[in-house]
């Protein structure tokens, strides 16, 4: 019995010792210092890269595709042959109208001779001439339709999609090819209705594409749709990209629409702020310091009061931290001075 109590007391002592050590032992922390830079207040939105002008290429007559002369991604010139259709119905219509026009022409000649001989009145000649003109118009229309069996590039551009193959039957108006032309790429972003009053045409935009994580793109707001989407409660904003050489249609883009910028601001990582306070390392102990904030961004925020450039801010915040807890400094992180919203 006494032995069991002894074991119990030993275990209890060990547990109390461990609790005391874990409660009072110094925590290991990493710190960083505020940096001077440009504070940026921005509206965040996501969007897609799209052509400023998208041209669908579709035939005006139906038929089987006889040949396709371009592939996706190919650069084409205005007037270049893109595709040819085989439309037998159109060909037969041209032949039929040509025969009707020939017969009408012969009828004109015979009627004119009979009118000259006094067998027919001039009214009969007028009727025959009218029929001949109608058949000629029908022939020209059929020939025009036959011309629509060849598709040419309406402008210089790039083929984005090819939605048909040789031998496939396509109906009139069915899109075979899609091409971009005449203007650089742009970004179409969806901005929340709460933020849209702060968006203006000409506003500067900073763009980041996940496909190019180390590239920062500049843009400007080009247009704002006047009608919002009642489901997503957002408005579409068109952004012109100033250096879109590496972007491709359909890429996802993160857009930061700049509301204001402030140079030489004291900046700290936004994630270190908790309820208007930050944890700092001061004389080997943890202290919680209230800060007055200015411009707040997703990554960095401006500090107006409460910190200086020599303050050591604790991040990440370790479990078990409390005011006046003893600390052991293991590293000092120097933030990247790149100004990002």
User: How many structural domains does the chain have?
Assistant: 4
Write out the two tokens for 210: 């996940």
Residue 212 lies in a domain: yes
Residue-wise pLDDT for 282-309, tens only, equals: 999 999 999 999 998 878 899 999 999 9
CATH number at residue 217: 2.40.30.170
CA distance 95 to 97: 6
Chain centroid offset of residue 263 CA: 30
Same domain, 119 and 155: no
CA distance 176 to 151: 10
Side-chain half-sphere CA neighbours of 250 within 13 A: 3
Please list, in sequence order, all residues whose beta carbon lies within 8 angstroms of the beta carbon of residue 316, skipping any fewer than 6 positions away.
Answer: 30
Provide the pLDDT for residue 21: 45
Residue 59 lies in a domain: yes
Residue 19 lies in a domain: no
- For residues 4-26, average pLDDT: 57
Identify the residue with better confidence: 261 or 331.
Answer: 261
CA distance 161 to 72: 5
Same domain, 193 and 257: yes
Same domain, 47 and 58: no
Same domain, 153 and 138: no
Nearest to 58 by CA among 178, 141, 182, 168: 178
Provide the pLDDT for residue 90: 66
* Residue environment code for 265-289, b if the CB has 16+ CB neighbours within 10 A, otherwise e: bbbbbeebbeeeebbbbeeeebbee
Alpha helices, DSSP H, located in the chain: 2-24, 88-116, 122-147
Write out the two tokens for 88: 């037998």
Percent of the chain with pLDDT over 70: 88
* Residue environment code for 2-38, b if the CB has 16+ CB neighbours within 10 A, otherwise e: eeeeeeeeeeeeeeeeeeeeeeeeebebbbbbbbebb
| Weakest mean pLDDT among 54-63, 112-121, 283-292 | 112-121
Q: What is the domain range of residue 220? A: 43-52+182-261
Strand 292-296 and strand 300-305: the pairing is antiparallel
Same domain, 104 and 121: yes
Residue-wise pLDDT for 23-56, tens only, equals: 557 888 899 999 999 888 899 999 999 998 899 9
Residue 246 confidence (pLDDT) above 70: yes
Same domain, 246 and 306: no
Residue 252 lies in a domain: yes
């Amino acid at each position: 019995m006494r032995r069991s109590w002894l074991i119990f007391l030993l275990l209890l002592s060990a547990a109390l010792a461990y609790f005391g050590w874990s409660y009072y032992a110094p925590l290991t922390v990493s710190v960083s210092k505020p940096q001077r830079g440009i504070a940026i207040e921005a509206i965040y939105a996501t969007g897609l890269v799209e052509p400023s002008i998208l041209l669908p290429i579709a035939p005006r007559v139906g038929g089987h595709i006889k040949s396709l002369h371009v592939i996706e991604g190919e650069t084409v010139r205005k007037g270049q042959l893109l595709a040819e259709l085989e439309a037998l119905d159109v060909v037969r219509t041209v032949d039929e109208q040509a025969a009707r026009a020939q017969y009408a022409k012969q009828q004109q000649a015979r009627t004119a001779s009979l009118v000259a001989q006094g067998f027919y009145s001039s009214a009969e000649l007028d009727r025959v001439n009218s029929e001949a003109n109608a058949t000629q118009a029908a022939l020209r229309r059929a020939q025009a339709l036959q011309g629509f069996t060849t598709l040419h590039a309406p402008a210089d551009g790039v083929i984005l999609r090819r939605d048909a193959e040789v031998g496939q039957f396509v109906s009139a108006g069915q899109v075979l090819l899609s091409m971009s032309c005449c203007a650089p790429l742009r970004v179409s972003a969806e901005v929340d209705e709460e933020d849209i009053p702060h968006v203006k045409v000409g506003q500067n935009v900073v763009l980041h594409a996940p496909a190019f994580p180390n590239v920062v793109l500049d843009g400007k707001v080009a247009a704002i749709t006047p009608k919002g989407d009642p489901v997503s409660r957002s408005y579409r904003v068109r952004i012109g990209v100033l250096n879109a050489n590496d972007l491709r249609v359909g890429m996802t883009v993160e857009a930061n629409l700049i509301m204001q910028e402030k140079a030489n601001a004291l900046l700290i990582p936004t994630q270190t702020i908790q309820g208007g306070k930050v944890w700092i390392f001061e004389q080997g102990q943890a202290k919680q310091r209230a800060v007055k904030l200015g411009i707040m961004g997703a990554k960095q925020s401006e500090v107006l009061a409460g910190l200086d450039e020599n303050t050591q801010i604790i991040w990440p915040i370790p479990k078990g931290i409390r005011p006046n807890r003893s600390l052991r400094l293991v590293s000092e992180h120097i933030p990247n001075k790149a100004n990002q919203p």
